[in-house]
Amino acid sequence: MNCQRDTLAARLRPAALVRLALSLALIASLAAVRGAAACGPFGNPPAKVIAGIKPDCGHGEMLGPWRDADGVSRYACLYEPATANRDDKLPMVVFLHPSLFPAGTVVTTGLLELGKEFQLGSDPNHPGFIVLAPEGRKTSHYYPAPDHNGIGWDNWYRQVNPVGDVTVAGVTYRENVDAAAIDHFVAREIATGKVDTSRIYMTGWSNGAAMAILYGLNRHNIAAIAVYSAPNPFGAFDDPCTQTPVAGVPANDGQIRIFNPGVPTMHVHNACDLAGICPNGEEMAGELRTAGVEVRDAIVNSDGEPTGVCARYCGTAPMGESWWRDPLGYSLGLYHHLRWPIGWTAAMLEFMRTHPLKPAR
């Protein structure tokens, strides 16, 4: 009897596996259809909010709370050097933290130490710069697990028009609440009179780098962008609503307009980076250059030296790779990704310094 039962189970198992595979394929197909149906002129719908986050700013000043359009209390960390004053204004660097890690991550970048002494402005007798580190929210993401939910930035809903809310075909689309929060804290610091408004720069790490690029490409008060290891904010990993950035009016929902295409942009990333971020970053650089954006693409090896090419053993797919296809990307690439490139921080700041805001024509 046991033998007969085992034989029957053996016969049923392949059929059950086939049914399971077909069911999963159907679910995936339906999910793809739902994702495609949800796509609009600004990509994906706004991210699902899970919770707000209150940061630990260490020796900095915590700004907030300020309530965003979703009713979530927003905060930022502010680090002003002792030389900051209204009479001798300083440049400001806005740092956006990586997903799953809070604003306090800025302490690992070297920016706070350099903020006391690096000449980011034009006056060698007045060095230093202000660092502003807004805090994201805990939301849903289109990244592989465990980063499908967590602290971060919604770069998938790309309604970051500088005028705020907009109406398209009779439908009103709210401004991206993360962009609005960054707007708020930038404006708050500018109001102190301590900021050289010709030298406001964006930087960020990973998901924060993606948001810094999306934000900077749409704000005329941003002089330059220099980020580390950014997934393409216009299409990476599990994003069902990818879009191509364009400088003019979009031809369809597959394109998204950027309002500040003249902003110089620097992207430092690893030849072997997490989940194929290197080829994904190359895809982004090509798209931005086509849209008229000046991009300095700095690919570095494990020693931080320029290499100029992606390591094929860490993924080759332009949208990034899944873990089962890219085991080195999720091990060695992850190791690289979690290290801020300290040796490149000064070079990123120098890129900013040489690109002050151009006078309005």
Q: Domain with 139 in it: what CATH number?
A: 3.40.50.1820
Q: Which of 213, 140, 157 is closest to 44 using CA atoms?
A: 157
Residues 6 or more apart whose Cβ sits within 8 Å of residue 77: 55, 57, 58, 60, 61, 62, 63, 103, 104, 106, 132, 133, 134, 135
On whether residue 32 sits in a domain, the answer given is no
Written as one string, the DSSP assignment of 294-326 is -EEEEEE-TTS-B--S--GGG---TT---TTT-
On whether residue 213 sits in a domain, the answer given is yes
Asked if residue 290 lies in contact with residue 283, where contact means CB atoms within 8 angstroms, the answer is no
φ and ψ of 170, to 5 deg: 85, 0
Q: What does DSSP say about strands 224-228 and 149-152: parallel, antiparallel, or unpaired?
A: unpaired
Cα separation, 293 vs 72, whole angstroms: 33
Which residue type, as a one-letter code, is found at position 68? D
On whether residue 214 sits in a domain, the answer given is yes
Cα separation, 18 vs 191, whole angstroms: 63
Beta strand extents in 5-163 (DSSP E only): 49-51, 61-67, 73-79, 90-96, 130-134, 137-140, 149-152
Asked if residue 314 lies in contact with residue 271, where contact means CB atoms within 8 angstroms, the answer is yes
pLDDT at 12: 33
Q: Which of 261, 239, 257 is closest to 248 using CA atoms?
A: 257
Which residue type, as a one-letter code, is found at position 335? Y
On whether residue 361 sits in a domain, the answer given is no
Cα separation, 247 vs 263, whole angstroms: 12
Q: Given its phi and psi angles, is residue 99 left (phi above 0), alpha (psi -120 to 50 degrees) or beta?
A: beta
On whether residue 94 sits in a domain, the answer given is yes
Question: How many domains does the chain fold into?
Answer: 1
Asked if residue 283 lies in contact with residue 318, where contact means CB atoms within 8 angstroms, the answer is yes
pLDDT at 322: 80
Q: State the greatest distance between any 2 C-alpha atoms of the chain, in Å, as a whole number.
A: 92
Instruction: Give the residue carrying structure tokens 């919604």.
Output: 154
Q: Which of 234, 236, 296 is closest to 263 using CA atoms?
A: 296
Q: Model-level pTM greater than 0.75?
A: yes
Per-residue pLDDT of the chain (361 residues; tens, 9 = 90+): 333 333 333 333 444 433 433 333 333 333 443 344 489 999 999 999 999 999 999 999 999 999 999 999 999 999 999 989 999 999 999 999 999 999 999 999 999 999 999 999 999 899 999 999 999 999 999 998 899 999 999 999 999 999 999 999 999 999 999 999 999 999 999 999 999 999 999 999 999 999 999 999 999 999 999 999 999 999 999 999 999 999 999 999 999 999 999 999 999 999 999 999 999 999 999 999 999 999 999 999 999 999 989 999 999 999 998 877 889 989 999 999 999 999 999 999 999 999 999 876 4
On whether residue 41 sits in a domain, the answer given is no
CA dist list (Å): 84 to 115, 187, 189, 195, 243 = 10, 16, 11, 8, 40
Angle between helix axes 207-216 and 177-190 (nearest 10 degrees) is: 70
Structural domain boundaries, residue 197 = 48-353
On whether residue 284 sits in a domain, the answer given is yes
Rg of the chain, C-alpha, whole Å: 22
How far from the centroid of its chain's Cα atoms is residue 210's Cα?
2
Q: Write out the two tokens for 50.
A: 């899970």
Q: Write out the two tokens for 256.
A: 């998204």
Cα separation, 131 vs 118, whole angstroms: 12
Q: What does DSSP say about strands 90-96 and 61-67: parallel, antiparallel, or unpaired?
A: unpaired
On whether residue 231 sits in a domain, the answer given is yes
**Could you tell me the end-to-end alpha-carbon distance of the chain, in angstroms, rounded to an integer?**
89
